[in-house]
Amino acid sequence: MKNKSEWANKLIFGDSQAMKELEDNSVHLVVTSPPYYNAPFDYPGLFESYDDFKNLIRNVARELKRVLDQGRIACFVCDDTLIEGKKYPVVADITKIFIEEGFKYRERITWVKPEGYIRISRRSGVLLQHPYPMYYYPDNLQESILIFQNGDFDYGRIPQEKKEESIVDLDETQNEKWYLSVWNITNVLPFKNRLEKGIAAFPEEIPYRLIKLFSYKGEVVLDPFMGSGTTLKVACELGRNCVGYEIDIELLEVVKEKLGISKQKRLFSPGFDIVIRDDIKHLRTELQRRIRGEVLMDITAKITGIEYTPFLCRKLNVFDLKDFDEALSSEATFILKIDEEHKVAVSWWVSAKRTRSYPYTRVYDSLDFSGKKVTIIPIVKDEGADGDRDFLQWDTVSLMSLLGVYVIIGYYEAASTNPDYANKITDQRYDTTYLLNAIKKLLSYQSDALHWNLSQLEKAGEIGEKALESYIQISKNLGVKMHSIDSARKRIKKLLEGKEAFLGLSRELAKKAQKRETITEQPKEKLAGGKSMITITNYLGGKYFFTVDEARLDGKNLLLFEGKHTKSKTLPSLNDIKDGILKMILLTNLKDVKIKDKRYNPVPILKLTTGTGLNIDSLIRSKREVLEGLKKEAKINGFKTKINDRYID
C-alpha cells in the first residue's frame, strides 16, 4: 500500500481495460457506473454487440481485481438496458462476471429515483391506451448499486486513529435511512446547459454515501468510467485521493471544470496528474450526432436477384390501346390491352423523383401482374421557374431493373398554365405517340428488363433533347418562364456522351443526395435512431446508393428500418405503406451484408408510427384489412412490421 504523501491524484484519458498506470493493490475503493449498453438516449451503437459490452466489463473486472487492495470494495451503479422493447440483463451479467473473476458478491442496493423525473420513456402509457391484460409495461424508476468485495477484509489492519478520523455519522445514516437496501435519491436533473449533458452522470449523493461507508480518509478511490468526474469530486471533498479513467477525451474540459482545476484554479489541495494515452476516443460528438439521428453506418450488400410475392396490389382497371390517353389521365397504374392476346401493366411517374406523387406505390401496384410490367418516367420535369425541376437518375432505372420492371423514358410535350403562379405550369402531358411506339416495341422484345432498360439509358440524351425542345415550346405558348435551359442543356449533353457519362453524373449526385438524406429527417419518417447509408451491388457489378431511415446493430443482426409516420391519422396512408414496402422488397433480398468487412444478418423492418397511438381494435374495416394484408406480406417475404413500439405478426 502506498502512503498518502507518495500519491498524486490522476485523471487518465484512455481505455480502462488496461490500467497500467496503477500498481497492484494500490486502490481502496471503486465507485463507478459503466456505459449503459447502447442505451438509445445515451450510447446508441457504442458497442457492436452485447458480447462486446460483456467483454469490456470482464476486462475491467480483471484489472480491478488486480489493483484493488485485499478485502476492498467495488461498487457498480448499473441497470438493465431496454432496447427496441427487449431488456438486456446487465445487472445479472455484471454480477456473474464479477463472481467469475473472483469477487465476492456482497450486496445489492436499489437506488430509487423520485417519481416525476422519469427521463426516458413513459411506457406505462401503453396500458392507459389499452386497459387489457398483456399491455403492461412499467416506467423504470430504479437502478442497482452492486457491491463486490475483493476477498476478506482485515479490520485489524486499520489503526484506531484512522478509524476515528473516518467515523461514520450515525445521525446521518439514521435520518437519511442509509441502513435500508433501498436508497431514495434524486437523479441528476436534465437542466439545459448542465455540465453533465450527454454523460449519464450519477448524483453526488451516491459516491458520497459509498465513499463514507467503504473507505478511510487519505485512501485512494478509483472510477474506471469517470464520465464527468462525479466520484472524483466527492472523493476529494471527503479527504480521499482519487484516480479516474475515461476513454472519451472530449470530456477532459468537463472533468476539469467539475474538479475545479480548469484555468489553473485549484479548489483542492492536492494537484492532479493528467495523462492522455493514445487509445483515447472522440466519442461525445459522434454519440450526440447519433442521438440526433445522424448516424452514418456505411453498409454494403449484394442483390443477386429478387424473390418477392406482393399481396397489397390494387386491382387494376383495363384500358384498350385507343384509350391510352384517358388511362394516363385517370389512373396511376393500369392494364393496357394491346390486342386479344397482349396486355401490359403500366404505371407512370409524375416526376423522376421518388418523393413526388408516390411513384414506388404506382410501380408496386403493377407487381402482381403476370405479364410485362412497364413504368414510364420523364427524363426531366420542369414545373416552371416558380416550381421544381427534377432530372431522371441512373439509379432509379437500375432499381426498376432489379424489380424486373421495364422502363420507358418519356418526356412531356404539353401543359397548362397554373392559375396560382405566374411562372408555373400544371397538367403536363406525355408525348403519347412516342410512348405507344415504345410499348409496341417492347411487346416483341425478347430479353429481360435489365437489357431493355440499359438500351433506354443509352437513348436518354436523345429523349432529353426532345424534352428541352418541348419545354421551350411550352414556355413560348403559355408565356411562362422555365428553369435555365442552358444548365439543362449541359446535363443533357453529358447524357448524349453515352451511358457511362450518365452513370458517372448520377453517381456523383446520388452520393451527395444520400449524404444529405442521412442528416435531414423527413416528417414522414419519424424515427428515434439514425439514418444510414447502404450501397448495394447487383449481379453485374452495378451499384445503387440508398439510405435506410435507421440502422441498428443487435448482436449479429443488423436491423434496417424504413419508417412511415402519420401525425393525426390512425395509420399511415396505404400509399405511404406501399412506398415503404418497395424498400422492403430490396431489403428482404440483400445478401452478403457487411459493415467494415464484418458480416451481419439483415433484419428489414417496416416501422409505422402514429402521433395519436394505435388501437388496432378500433380501426375501421378497410384499415384493418390493410394491416391483415401487410402482416401476410411481411410473413411470406421475411420482413417485420412494427407499429409504434409493437411488432405485429
Ligand X SMILES: C[S@@+](CC[C@H](N)C(=O)[O-])C[C@H]1O[C@@H](n2cnc3c(N)ncnc32)[C@H](O)[C@@H]1O
CA torsion sign for 213, 219, 223, 226 is positive
Minimum CB distance to ligand X, residue 188 (Å): 7
Give the CA count within 13 Å in the CB-facing half-sphere of 613. 10
Q: Cα(377)–Cα(392) distance, rounded to whole angstroms?
A: 8
Minimum CB distance to ligand X, residue 191 (Å): 15
Select from 243-251, 335-343, 364-372, 593-601 the region that touches ligand X (CB under 6 A).
243-251
Q: Is 246 in the site for ligand X (CB under 6 A)?
A: yes
Minimum CB distance to ligand X, residue 236 (Å): 14
Minimum CB distance to ligand X, residue 29 (Å): 14
Minimum CB distance to ligand X, residue 140 (Å): 16
Pick the closest to residue 404 from 367, 350, 356, 359 (CA basis): 367
Hey, what's the cell of 565?
409516420
The answer to whether the CB of 109 falls within 8 A of the CB of 206 is no
Question: Among 245, 348, 349, 391, which residue interacts with ligand X (rule: CB under 6 A)?
Answer: 245
Residues 2 to 61: which contact ligand X by CB under 6 A? 15-17, 33-35, 56
Closest CB to ligand X among residues 19, 301? 19
Closest CB to ligand X among residues 150, 230? 230
Contacts of residue 358, defined as CB under 8 A and 6 or more positions apart, other chains included, come to 332, 575, 576, 578, 579
The answer to whether the CB of 154 falls within 8 A of the CB of 70 is yes
Minimum CB distance to ligand X, residue 95 (Å): 18
Closest CB to ligand X among residues 143, 562? 143
Question: What number of chain residues touch ligand X (CB under 6 A)?
Answer: 22
Question: Among 202, 544, 561, 639, which residue interacts with ligand X (rule: CB under 6 A)?
Answer: 202
Hey, what's the cell of 479?
408565356
Question: Among 283, 303, 527, 577, which residue interacts with ligand X (rule: CB under 6 A)?
Answer: 283
Minimum CB distance to ligand X, residue 10 (Å): 13
Question: Among 79, 101, 219, 248, which residue interacts with ligand X (rule: CB under 6 A)?
Answer: 248
Closest CB to ligand X among residues 19, 614? 19
Question: Coil, strand, or helix at residue 460?
Answer: helix
Closest CB to ligand X among residues 230, 366? 230
Q: Is 201 in the site for ligand X (CB under 6 A)?
A: yes
Contacts of residue 482, defined as CB under 8 A and 6 or more positions apart, other chains included, come to 382, 384, 385, 423, 471, 472, 474, 475
Closest CB to ligand X among residues 15, 576? 15
Residues 171 to 200: which contact ligand X by CB under 6 A? 196, 199-200
Select from 239-247, 269-277, 328-336, 609-617 the region that touches ligand X (CB under 6 A).
239-247
CA torsion sign for 585, 586, 592, 598 is negative
Site mask, ligand X, residues 94-133, x = CB under 6 A?
A: ----------------------------------------
Minimum CB distance to ligand X, residue 28 (Å): 18
CB atoms < 10 A from the CB of 59, how many? Answer: 16
Q: Is 244 in the site for ligand X (CB under 6 A)?
A: no
Closest CB to ligand X among residues 200, 210? 200
Segment (H or E) for 579: helix 574-587
Q: Cα(602)–Cα(279) distance, rounded to whole angstroms?
A: 31
Q: What would you report as the CA-atom Rg of the chain, rounded to the nearest whole angstrom?
A: 32
Minimum CB distance to ligand X, residue 38 (Å): 12
Q: Is 399 in the site for ligand X (CB under 6 A)?
A: no
Minimum CB distance to ligand X, residue 229 (Å): 6
Closest CB to ligand X among residues 212, 607? 212
Residues 216 to 235: which contact ligand X by CB under 6 A? 225, 227-228, 230
The answer to whether the CB of 187 falls within 8 A of the CB of 117 is yes
Segment (H or E) for 24: none
Nearest residue to the partner ligand X, using Cβ = 227
Minimum CB distance to ligand X, residue 203 (Å): 8
Question: Coil, strand, or helix at residue 377?
Answer: strand
Pairing of strands 640-643, 646-648: antiparallel
Q: Cα(210)–Cα(222) distance, rounded to whole angstroms?
A: 12
Q: Which residue pairs, CB below 8 angstroms and at least 24 apart, start in 358-363?
A: 358/332, 358/575, 358/576, 358/578, 358/579, 360/578, 360/579, 360/582, 360/583, 361/332, 361/574, 361/575, 361/578, 361/579, 361/582, 362/332, 362/333, 363/333, 363/400, 363/403, 363/405, 363/582
Residue 356 DSSP one-character state: S
Minimum CB distance to ligand X, residue 205 (Å): 11
Closest CB to ligand X among residues 187, 641? 187
- Summarize as ranges the residues that interact with ligand X (CB under 6 A): 15-17, 33-35, 56, 196, 199-202, 225, 227-228, 230, 245-248, 251, 283
